[in-house]
Amino acid sequence: MSIIFYLPAVLFLISGLPQMLKLLKTKSSEDISVSMYLLTCLGILIVVINAYIDQSYGILVSNLTSLVLTGTNTFLVIRYKKRPLNT
């Protein structure tokens, strides 16, 4: 199994971890697009399913890691969105 398949997971962690930490710290996600995160999760999920079917375990592990991080960020973005007040 080639180490090159794990590089995307490391890059996803490096890119996504600061956003997760900021969401947890500020508990605000007003300027973050929920649809972008949902579509990213869907795209990664498709790659995960394909890697599982093809038994490409390096790609599977790498993208599962990315899916967990992106899924967590998606959850936090939805959780910390301000809802309009009913008046």
Residue 13: per-residue pLDDT = 81
Is residue 77 over pLDDT 80? yes
Assigned domain for 68 exists:
yes
pLDDT digits (tens, 9 = 90+) for 52-61: 999 988 889 8
Assigned domain for 84 exists:
no
> What CA–CA distance (Å, rounded) separates 73 from 69?
6
Assigned domain for 31 exists:
yes
Helix (H/G/I), strand (E/B), else coil: 49: helix
Is residue 87 over pLDDT 60? no
Assigned domain for 20 exists:
yes
What pTM, to 2 d.p., does this model score?
A: 0.77
48 against 32, higher pLDDT = 48
Count of domains observed in the chain: 1
Assigned domain for 53 exists:
yes
Number of Cβ atoms within 10 Å of the Cβ of 78: 13
Assigned domain for 85 exists:
no
Contacts with 87 (C-beta within 8 Å, 6 or more apart), sequence order: none
Residue 3 pLDDT level (bands cut at 50, 70, 90) = confident
Is residue 23 over pLDDT 80? yes
Residue 54's region, left for phi above 0, alpha for psi from -120 to 50, else beta, is alpha
Average pLDDT of the chain to the nearest whole number: 86
Q: Give the range of the structural domain holding residue 63, as residue numbers without chain letter.
A: 3-79
State the CATH number of the domain containing residue 14: 1.20.1280.290
Assigned domain for 29 exists:
yes
